Amino acid sequence: MAPSRCQRFVLLPTTMATACFLTVLLLALCAAPAPAQAARALTPGRAGAVTKAQQGGTGSNATAAAAAADEYLAPHNQARAAVGVPPLRWSADLASTAAAVVAQQQRQVGCTFVDMGGSPYGANQGWASYRARPAEVVASWVAQGRYYTHANNTCAPGRQCGTYTQVVWRRSAEVGCAQANCATVATLTLCLYNPHGNVQGQSPY
Cβ atoms < 10 Å from Cβ of 199: 16
pTM for the predicted model, two decimal places: 0.75
Rounded to whole angstroms, the Cα distance separating 149 from 72 reads 25
- What is the mean predicted confidence (pLDDT) over 151-168? 97
Strand partners, 122: 193
51: in domain: no
| pLDDT score at 8 | 56
12: in domain: no
- What is the mean predicted confidence (pLDDT) over 172-183? 94
79: in domain: yes
Domain housing 107: 63-194
Q: Where are the alpha helices (DSSP H) in the chain?
A: 36-41, 59-82, 92-109, 134-142, 162-167
Rounded to whole angstroms, the Cα distance separating 95 from 102 reads 11
78: in domain: yes
155: in domain: yes
13: in domain: no
29: in domain: no
Q: What is the pLDDT of residues 18-52, one digit of tens each?
A: 222 222 222 333 322 232 222 222 212 222 334 44
Burial bucket for residue 143 (CB in 10 Å: 0-12, 13-18, 19+): middle
28: in domain: no
| Domains held by the chain: number | 1
CATH code: domain of residue 188: 3.40.33.10
User: pLDDT band for position 16 (50/70/90)?
Assistant: very low
Give me the chain's average pLDDT, please.
Answer: 77
